[in-house]
Chains A and B, each alone.
Chain A
């Protein structure tokens, strides 16, 4: 493995993502500010103003136009990035589907923040979960180091799969927390990413094409089917991008998931993002002090959904707690729980699954949340049946 030079820096999540964007030096960035992602746009504008990048920065008048301009720029063959959160992502919603269906590898840094109402600027995953079926690859990161690296590997993944990618951090928990991390040299990042090779290009005026035509009953389904197949194929591209990243930089990232002390676990917790750090500590305590067979699985890539990988690592678990930082408002709990239940349903051996919704609107996620979750699973293991499919953790009921 060719280990590249790294430099130790102290950066917040937003600074690390903006720094990665500087190193990537995209052709076009079109973005609009929103807490807690604002700094990414601000810092990047400063890189532009200082001539540290030669990106064309488009300071749009809304997130809807941000994503619309990203679509135009990406269809013109450019390497394109943006960043947003919450209401901004919701405002982009219409165009997210167009970006993916046009097979445009836009990379977007999303800082997870809840959706109004009530208005609140703090973390939960309702924003990105709301765009889970928009055809984007979704990468949830646990810490600032991973957010930095995932931004870089996100671009590689997007351009291999010709699909857009969102890389997320938990609002404030990561976006505004300083961590020391290892960063690469600009040159190495640029060499690793190389040039984008677009599928098509509306600036190729010698070969005119029509992009985004009306597509009716006689062709639409075939075209949609092609896009769906691209999501199936994205798994291979995701593995390839991460393998190439590891080979180039000598640093391994977990790909779809990070199992933690899961091998012989009877009880397991699934969780996304920064809460996994707290969860791992609880797992350590329960294992090392109480001798409980507990483990954790941090799901890093939620789209495409890694059902085969999950079947392999979760099939033997007896009691599975799926912790969602979002509620589907469908009386069954969170979206991750629902999808994991679907993924494991056909296994002859499969866990009893219960959905837990936690940390909404930035509610602090202390270790007690995880202990409570495990206790509830023990209560279920003792033969009790919860009257609902979901339990809410850390809320005054």
Chain B
């Protein structure tokens, strides 16, 4: 069923993508993420989208960039909305109003605000109820649509408009919470973290998620050029650096087990990831704060390796 993309040429041929002309910022990586997700499969898709940059930039009436059925309801309820669509699909199939052999897959896209914060309850409910859907979190680590406010995905010391770096306070003071762990606590059919720089890994994860019987979740890093404040040609580079610095581990969870998909042989120090981003400008001359970030990255990485060792993923 699923298309196989092995080479960049295969990838370029994949047709199911956002139409050109959408209003995402120059360098915004979520159009790439959407293309990778939609191209990973030939199944007909129905997409629910939370309010946020993706919804706003892809659908300004009378235009739409979406080649598949798409519904936007509100900010905090993409998971509840898709669970309603999926429930309708099940019921109508059972009642013979949709042919029994008609397979449709359901995908929700939400930003980190719509997922970690305001939409966490709806997502938790939908996961617990076991709807058959894939939730893609495009994680730009802030409320970008409303002008770069902090979310609980915003990393420590990043400056945002509601956690500004000031004379006394060096940006956000809290660590971001580990949403993927929270999702895994629901024991979904499949969960993963991915990065658009590792595109074939991302495609493979989407395919696994869609084949899994039950709810699935993929947390995809999606740098925000205005929000992280870096040159727009660096977006994909940053999603690579995020992985090479262990800031953004690529891993997956299934059947109660973990697998770390990529272990950098020579991990790059976190400073290289932070340096191009002006949201960290105020700490670049504070090595103790950078060291603190590095330590936290090591702690989380070690924890992940221990989980993998103790509970290896079995297919």
**Interfacial residues, chain A to chain B (CB-CB below 8 A):** 27-28, 30, 54-56, 58-62, 64-65, 68-78, 80, 94-95, 98, 202-206, 208-216, 219, 223
With contacts A95-B74, A216-B60 taken as known, whether A61 is within 8 angstroms of B125 at the C-beta atoms is: yes
Q: Whole-angstrom distance from the CB of A212 to the nearest CB of chain B? A: 4
Contact B73 A203, beta carbon cutoff 8 Å: no
Residue of B60, B85, B97 touching A202 (CB-CB under 8 A): B85
Cβ of B56 under 8 Å from chain A: yes
* B82 → chain A closest CB, angstroms: 6
Task: Say yes or no: is B147 at the interface (Cβ < 8 Å to chain A).
Answer: no
B112 in the interface (beta carbon within 8 A): no
**Complex Cα spacing A40 to B64, Å:** 40
A212 and B73 in contact (CB under 8 A), knowing A69-B84, A71-B81? yes
Q: Is the CB of B89 within 8 A of A76?
A: yes
Since A72-B85, A212-B59 are in contact, a sample of 15 more A-B pairs with Cβ atoms closer than 8 Å, ordered by chain A residue number, is A28-B88, A61-B122, A64-B80, A64-B122, A65-B122, A68-B122, A72-B73, A73-B91, A77-B97, A78-B92, A95-B74, A98-B73, A98-B74, A213-B59, A213-B64
Residues of B within 8 A of A64 (CB): 76-77, 80, 122
Query: By the criterion CB–CB under 8 Å, are A76 and B84 in contact?
Result: yes
* Size of interface on B: residues with Cβ below 8 Å to A: 47
- Asked whether any CB of chain A lies closer than 8 Å to the CB of B46, the reply is yes
Contacts A72-B48, A211-B70 given; does A61 touch B87 at CB 8 Å:
no
In the complex, which of the residues B70, B77, B86 has the most CB atoms of chain A within 10 Å of its own CB atom? B77
B46 proximity list for chain A (CB < 8 A): 76, 202-203, 205
Q: Whole-angstrom distance between the alpha carbons of A210 and B82 in the complex?
A: 14
B48-62, CB under 8 A of A: which get 1 and which 0? 100000011001111
**Binary flags per residue of B82-115, CB closer than 8 Å to A gives 1, else 0:** 1111111111101101100000100000000000
Q: How far is the CB of A322 from chain B (nearest CB, A)?
A: 35
**Which one, A30, A54, A98, contacts B87 given CB within 8 A?**
A30
Q: How far is the CA of A69 from the CA of B80 in the complex (A)?
A: 5
Determine if B81 and A68 form an interchain contact, defined as CB atoms under 8 angstroms apart.
yes
What are 19 A-B contacts defined by CB distance under 8 Å? A54-B95, A61-B125, A61-B128, A62-B122, A68-B122, A72-B71, A72-B82, A73-B88, A75-B71, A76-B88, A77-B92, A78-B92, A98-B74, A209-B69, A210-B66, A211-B72, A213-B60, A213-B72, A214-B61
Complexed CA–CA distance, A46 and B208 (Å): 36
CB pair A68 B84 closer than 8 Å: yes
**Contact residues in A for B64 (Cβ distance below 8 Å):** 210, 213
Q: In this complex, which of A55, A72, A74, A95 has the most chain B Cβ atoms within 10 angstroms of its Cβ?
A: A72
Contact between B77 and A202, CB atoms less than 8 A apart:
no
Q: Which residues of B contact A71 (CB under 8 A)?
A: 73, 81, 84
Contacts A210-B59, A214-B55; A58 near B84 (Cβ below 8 A): yes
**A59→B83 CA distance, assembly (Å):** 11
- Do A76 and B85 contact each other (CB < 8 Å), given the known contacts A60-B125, A210-B59, A210-B66? yes
Q: Does B149 contact A (CB under 8 A)?
A: no
Residue ID in chain B nearest A196 by CB atoms: B97
The 5 closest A-B pairs by CB, nearest first: A72-B84, A61-B125, A69-B84, A213-B59, A76-B88
Contacts of A30 in B (CB 8 A): 83-84, 87
- Total inter-chain residue pairs, C-beta < 8 Å: 164
**What is the chain B residue whose CB lies nearest that of A64?**
B77
Residues on B with beta carbons closer than 8 Å to the beta carbon of A65: 77, 80, 83, 121-122, 125-126
> Is residue B129 contacting chain A, with contact meaning CB distance below 8 A?
yes
* Cβ of B62 to closest chain A Cβ, rounded Å: 7
A58 to B95, Cβ gap below 8 A?
no
Given A72-B83, A77-B88, A208:B122 Cβ within 8 A: no
Residue B294 CB within 8 A of the other chain: no
CB distance from B75 to the nearest CB of A (A): 9
Residue B264 lies at the interface, judged by CB distance under 8 Å to chain A: no
B68 within 8 A of A: yes
Give the nearest-CB partner of B56 in chain A: A214
Query: Across the interface, which residues of B come within 8 angstroms of A70, CB to CB?
Result: 84
Known: A72-B82, A210-B70. A203 touches B89 (CB 8 A): yes
C-alpha gap A219/B64 in the complex (Å):
14
Task: Flag if A95 contacts B77 (CB, 8 Å).
Answer: yes
Give the CA-CA distance A75 to B74 in the complex, in Å: 14
A residues near B69, Cβ cutoff 8 Å: 202-205, 208-209, 211
A contact residues around B88 at 8 Å (CB): 27-28, 56, 72-74, 76-78, 80, 203
Docked complex Cα distance between A196 and B26 (Å): 44
B71, A202: Cβ atoms closer than 8 Å? yes
A211 to B61, CA, bound (A): 10
With A28-B91, A77-B92, A95-B74 given, is the CB distance from A216 to B84 under 8 Å? Answer: no
Q: Find A62's partner among B87, B97, B104, B125 (CB 8 Å cutoff).
A: B125
User: Using Cβ atoms and an 8 Å threshold, which residues of chain B touch A73?
Assistant: 84-85, 87-88, 91
B267 within 8 A of A: no
* Cβ of B67 under 8 Å from chain A: yes
Contact of A219 among B61, B68, B74 (CB under 8 A): B61
**B128 to chain A: which residues have CB within 8 Å?**
61
Instruction: Please state if B61 and A216 are interface contacts (CB–CB under 8 Å).
Output: yes
- Cβ distance B144 to chain A, nearest Cβ, rounded Å: 15
How close is A124's CB to chain B, nearest CB, in angstroms? 28
**Would B77 and A58 count as touching, CB distance under 8 A?**
no
Interchain CB contact under 8 A, B98 and A203: yes
Among B213-250, those with CB < 8 Å from A are none
**CB of A266, distance to nearest CB on chain B (Å):** 50
Contacts of B256 in A (CB 8 A): none
B61, B71, B72, B91: the one within 8 Å of A78 (CB): B91
What are the residues of chain A within 8 A of B125 when measuring CB–CB? 60-62, 65
Contacts of A72 in B (CB 8 A): 48, 71, 73, 80-88
Measured in the bound complex, the distance between the Cα atoms of B44 and A206 in whole Å is: 8
- How far does the alpha carbon of A214 sit from the alpha carbon of B55 in the complex, in Å? 7
Measured CB to CB, the closest approach of chain B to A339, in angstroms, equals 28
Query: Which of chain A's residues have a CB closer than 8 A to the CB of B48?
Result: 72
